[in-house]
Amino acid sequence: MTYQRTKQGEKADVDLTPMLDIVFIMLIFFIITASFIHEQGLQVNHPHPKGLPPTEGNAIGFQIDAHNRLFHAGRHVDIWAAEAIIKQKSAEDPKAPVVMSVEEGAHIKTVIRLYDGALKNGIPRGRVAVFTR
């Protein structure tokens, strides 16, 4: 038995152009017929109090505005002075809570530093409140 050899020079080339045409036509079809869904995230509705809520005794109140300025009793104070204010007021009234009123746009860094300052001075977590305006 002898085997017949084919010519070495012949190569079979596959032309992919028609397949690519079909793929692009299908892609255009699916883009046109697809319905895109606009998913919305959760929207949390926070109550907006009209001021600081009434508390028992004298609360140690702070306001943080949208420009990240810190106020206590209507005057502008530094974040470093806030810890001393908390220490002084809590010595006068040990059951006084710390209440922060924060405007939208304020940095969370300032809120956290004030919160940590209250905890550092012995105010329990349950007596530190943050409200957004």
- Could you tell me the CATH number of the domain that includes residue 111? 3.30.420
Predicted local distance difference test score (pLDDT) of residue 79: 87
* CB 86 within 8 Å of CB 115: no
99 within domain boundaries: yes
14 belongs to a structural domain = no
Q: Is residue 106 part of a domain?
A: yes
Q: Which residue has the higher pLDDT, 46 or 120?
A: 120
What is the identity of the amino acid at 126?
A: G
pTM assigned to the model: 0.56
Indicate the SS3 state at residue 7. coil
Question: Does the residue 20 lie in any domain?
Answer: no
Does 55 reside within a domain? no
Helices then strands (H, E): number in the chain?
A: 3, 5
CA–CA dist 87, 121 (Å, integer): 6
Between the two ends of the chain, the Cα-to-Cα distance in Å is 96
Is the residue at 11 inside a domain? Answer: no
Domain with 101 in it: 60-132
Is residue 17, in this structure, part of any structural domain at all? no
Confidence of residue 52 (pLDDT cuts 50, 70, 90): very low
Residues 67-126 pLDDT 10s: 999 999 889 999 889 999 999 998 998 888 999 999 988 888 999 999 999 999 888 988
Q: How many domains does the chain have?
A: 1
| Cβ atoms 62, 99 nearer than 8 A | yes
DSSP-based three-state secondary structure for 45: coil
6-37 pLDDT per residue, tens: 566 677 788 888 899 999 999 999 988 887 77
Averaged pLDDT for residues 33-61:
67
Asked whether residue 12 is assigned to any structural domain, the reply reads: no
